[in-house]
């Protein structure tokens, strides 16, 4: 065959193969390059939050000073009933505390009833040998004196003698004594002519007194400054010795402010009246009881409603 014919045939074949390949590429015979899709921005998922709610702040509790108010009669009557219930079930300490609160606001028979019950409880809890939260047991040490023990507890040594039923102030090492932690205090109400004994703010007992005719007893709170048995009368116009039967001071003197004091009297009919020169008069048996409760420097005398 002629070489030119063979060359022509080969050229035709090559051209045909090239055309075939090109068409296949366009019509999908070979996987075409992926056409990039338009980029859609992807945002992070939104955080789920609650809708804004108006928060109303809670009111803040503030302490408002409450003025001290005297216990009303109704409240005092309720306290009296509560105290009597506590006393019946043997809760004497609680009953004494509640009675003491009730006494201040009661009047008439209710006040008298509360005072009698309170004094009875105070006698049992403070002045007897039976155990109570207010009574301690002290074991006497070598070298102890009744006076030094009493000073430690801020009470007169006479009170230790009374509580323990001692015959004298003689004590021995190893003795066990019942003692109460003092001091006791008193209030003199010049409008009611009464003197009230308190122990740690609780009512103990009440005594009638006589006061000055001119009402010169000064109002205030004073420490007990002196205690005398069988005192002399040192009034400038008519001084009298301690043993003079006309001595108006009686057998006890408890000084608390300058020349003012609490004392006995040889005129018991003057108690409950305003006839003295300004001091506080008491029945002899009453001032002797009081003398055994108060102690110099620690016990106080408060004059209430003084003129």
Q: Which residues does the annotation mark as catalytic? A: 263, 279
CA distance 127 to 134: 10
How many other β-carbons are positioned within 10 Å of the β-carbon of residue 279? 25
User: Edge-to-edge, what's the strand order for the sheet holding 194-199?
Assistant: 202-208, 194-199, 184-189, 300-304, 220-223
Give the closest residue to 131 by CA, choosing from 180, 97, 172. Answer: 180
- Residue 281: which H helix or E strand, with range? strand 280-281
Closest by Cα among 279, 91, 111, 305 to 219: 305
DSSP one-letter code for 124: H
Residue written as token pair 């420097």: 297
- Reading the block at residue 152, the tokens are 């430690």
Burial of 182 (0-12, 13-18, 19+ CB in 10 A): buried
Q: Is the dihedral of CA 77, 79, 80, 85 positive or negative?
A: positive
């Amino acid at each position: 065959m002629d070489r030119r014919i063979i060359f022509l045939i080969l050229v035709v074949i090559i051209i045909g193969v090239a055309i075939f390949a090109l068409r296949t590429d366009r019509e999908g015979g070979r996987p075409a390059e992926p056409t990039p899709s338009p980029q859609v921005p992807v945002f992070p998922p939104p955080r789920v939050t609650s809708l804004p709610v108006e928060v109303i702040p809670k009111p803040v509790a503030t302490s408002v000073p409450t003025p001290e108010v005297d216990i009303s009669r109704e409240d005092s009557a309720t306290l009296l009933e509560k105290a009597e219930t506590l006393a019946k079930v043997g809760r004497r300490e609680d009953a004494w505390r509640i009675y003491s609160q009730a006494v201040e606001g009661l009047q008439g028979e209710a006040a008298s009833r509360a005072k009698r019950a309170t004094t009875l409880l105070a006698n049992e809890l403070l002045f007897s040998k039976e155990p109570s939260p207010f009574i301690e047991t002290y074991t006497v040490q070598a070298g102890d004196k009744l006076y030094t023990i009493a000073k430690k507890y801020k009470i007169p040594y006479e009170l230790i003698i009374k509580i323990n039923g001692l015959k004298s102030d003689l004590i021995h090492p190893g003795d066990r004594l019942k003692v109460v932690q003092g001091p006791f205090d008193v209030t003199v109400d010049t409008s009611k002519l009464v003197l009230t004994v308190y122990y740690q703010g609780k009512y103990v007992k009440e005594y009638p007194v006589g006061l000055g005719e001119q009402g010169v007893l000064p109002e205030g709170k004073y420490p007990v400054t002196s205690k005398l048995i069988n005192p002399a009368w040192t009034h400038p116009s008519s001084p009298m010795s301690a043993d003079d039967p006309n001595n108006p001071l009686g057998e006890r003197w408890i000084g608390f402010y300058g020349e003012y004091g609490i004392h006995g009297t040889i005129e018991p009919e003057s108690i409950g009246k305003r006839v003295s020169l300004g001091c506080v008069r008491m029945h002899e048996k009453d001032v002797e009881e009081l003398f055994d409760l108060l102690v110099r420097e620690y016990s106080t005398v408060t004059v209430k409603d003084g003129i």
